Amino acid sequence: MPTVGLFIPCYVDQLYPQVGLATLHILKSLGLNVEFPEEQTCCGQPMANIGCTSDAEPLAKRFLHIFGGYEHVIAPSGSCVSMVRNHYEQFLSGQPGFEHLRSNTFELCEYLVDIARVSRVDGEFAHRVGLHMSCHGLRELGLASDTERMVPPFNKVRGLLSQLRGIDLKELSRPDECCGFGGTFAITEEAVSSLMGRDRIADHENAGVEVLTGFDMSCLMHLDGLIQRAHKPMRVMHVAQILENARLS
């Protein structure tokens, strides 16, 4: 079994430790040898997204240094993985090990479906569930077909969740509209960001969703913040927390 590097995004490490643990448990249940390199911090995405390349670059270099040696690197986040795969080139192009790192860093669901070849999800989750398809995982990693491109429909995350017994995956009127998190966008464009989030929540609410899930805790953090403020009965869960209790094979 290969040794994989567990990449837990900084905000997940600090704010959503149970998501990190769920990810770890899932990977271990596949028999993988999972290592969590202690010196990891942040991939540099916030700095890169605001345009501060000189602040992002040293973090990209750190990341390569820390994770470059693993066969695979896995994270419970589409956005942070997209940073490595789609935006590190500017900082690391030509550096030894970068090409390997880039093509072997995976979002959790992507890893389960494409690399670990999980085809059976044996478990139960008897709830009305809404799946939020976070943009970076959807459009930059290609975890699913989006509604803009005219390609045969597929959805790797839904493919895993839909196998759970009792799960009632709800259809949304706008299946892949952005929730408005967008990193620093949530602050700089607070008004637009919050309305985007509230509109997403309303879509899930109208579909009768009890549990709003997704593969990026950052989007869910933003949505949960709005849900909590409005005292809505809906709760958010990372997809890893749902899959943690199932047997994957």
Partner 1 sequence: MSSHPEKASAFLTDEPRAHWHDQSVWFVRVKRDRQAKMIPEWEQLRETAAGIKSHTISRMAEYLEEFEKNATANGIHVHWARDAAEHNEIVYRILADHAVTRLVKSKSMLTEECDMNPYLEERGIEVVDTDLGERIMQFLHQPPSHIVMPAIHLKREEIGELFHIKLGTTKGASDPNYLTEAARGHLREKFLAAQAGLTGVNFAIAETGGVVVCTNEGNADMGTSLPPLHIACMGVEKIIPGTHELGVFLRLLARSATGQPVTTYTSHFHGPVRDGEMHVVIVDNGRSAILNSKEHRRILSCIRCAACANTCPVYRRSGGYSYDYTIPGPIGSLLAPLRDLRKYSTLPYACSLCSSCTDVCPVKIDLHHELYTMRQEVVKQGILPLHKRIAMAAMRWVMSVPWAYRMAGKLMRWLVPRLPRALVYSKLNTWGRQRELPPMPKKSFRELLKEERS
Which residue in this structure is represented by tokens 């500017």? 90
Q: Which stretch binds partner 1 (CB under 8 A): 53-61, 96-104, 113-121, 162-170?
A: 53-61
CB of 226 to partner 1, least distance (A): 5
CB of 165 to partner 1, least distance (A): 28
Q: Could you give the CA distance from residue 143 to residue 139 in angstroms, rounded to a whole number?
A: 7
Is 49 a residue that touches partner 1 (CB under 8 A)?
yes
Enumerate residues 67-106 that contact partner 1 by CB under 8 A: 87
Is 225 a residue that touches partner 1 (CB under 8 A)?
yes
Q: Which stretch binds partner 1 (CB under 8 A): 58-66, 92-100, 161-169, 240-248?
A: 58-66
- Cβ proximity of 77 and 4 under 8 Å: no
Q: Is 36 left (phi over 0), alpha (psi -120 to 50) or beta?
A: beta
* C-alpha distances in Å from residue 5, one per residue of 72, 102, 245: 6, 13, 22
CB of 145 to partner 1, least distance (A): 10
Q: Could you give the CA distance from residue 10 to residue 5 in angstroms, rounded to a whole number?
A: 15
Is 210 a residue that touches partner 1 (CB under 8 A)?
no
Q: Which of 27, 47, 169, 248 binds partner 1 (CB under 8 A)?
A: 47
Enumerate residues 139-198 that contact partner 1 by CB under 8 A: 139-140, 146-151, 174, 176-178, 180-198
Q: Which stretch binds partner 1 (CB under 8 A): 31-39, 103-111, 112-120, 156-164?
A: 31-39
CB of 37 to partner 1, least distance (A): 10
Q: Could you give the CA distance from residue 29 to residue 249 in angstroms, rounded to a whole number?
A: 9
Q: Which of 226, 243, 246, 248 binds partner 1 (CB under 8 A)?
A: 226
Enumerate residues 118-137 that contact partner 1 by CB under 8 A: 135-136
Q: How many residues bind partner 1 (CB under 8 A)?
A: 76
